[in-house]
Amino acid sequence: MKNESGCGQKSGSDSCSSRAPLWAKLTATFFGIGLMRPGPGSWGSAATVLLWWLLSLFVNAGWQPYVAAGLAAVAVIVGIPAATAVARAARLKDPQFVVIDEVAGQLIALVAVPVSWKSMLLGFILFRGFDIVKPPPVRQLEHLPEGFGIVIDDVAAGLYALALVQVALHFGVLPR
């Protein structure tokens, strides 16, 4: 579970804002969205859904799964070192204000999902649910070291959400 401290608040003798590199703070907090209250993880996921919807307006439907997967991969690849740097600077294992993991997981939950309000809402709800409840092995993955553990558990939660959205699509619960 994430620590309640905010990035600008003191944690030990230093705050993460004074110790982490700017690129890491901007990435880890998803350009400050992680500083929003309450529930920064939900804000990060909601912003991701909204930004993906806006971006999808400019991406051919046939390319959308590849773009979503590519963006998720970028969020993971850049997010792990950013989360590591910010968590170290804040001296917290998994700071609540680090939301790049939610960005990655939420994007994964929306890969190969039609861009409609119903499917995106279901993807959001399922991802947040799996991210909060952390069914096995999600809970165990958060015990991995530093930024890897911060990000990879959300990747797993995103995969669970994606699987259930695909089941809903397959059985006609959601329109294709």
pTM equals 0.89
What pLDDT, on a 0 to 100 scale, did the predictor assign at position 3? Answer: 44
- Alpha carbon distance, N-terminus to C-terminus of the chain: 35
Take residue 143 and report the two structure tokens written for it. Answer: 């015990």
138-143: long-range contacts at Cβ-Cβ below 8 A with a sequence spacing of 24 or more? 142/94
Assign 157 to helix, strand or coil: helix
> Whose CA is closest to 166, among 126, 117, 135, 131?
126
Q: How far is CA 100 from CA 5, 17, 57, 141, 142, in A?
A: 16, 16, 23, 16, 14
pLDDT tens for the chain, 176 residues: list them: 444 444 444 433 335 445 999 999 999 999 999 999 999 999 999 999 999 999 999 999 999 999 999 999 999 999 999 999 999 999 999 999 999 999 999 999 999 999 999 999 999 999 999 999 999 999 999 999 999 999 999 999 999 999 999 999 999 998 87
Confidence (pLDDT) at 175: 81
Asked if 138 contacts 112 with a C-beta cutoff of 8 angstroms, the reply is: no
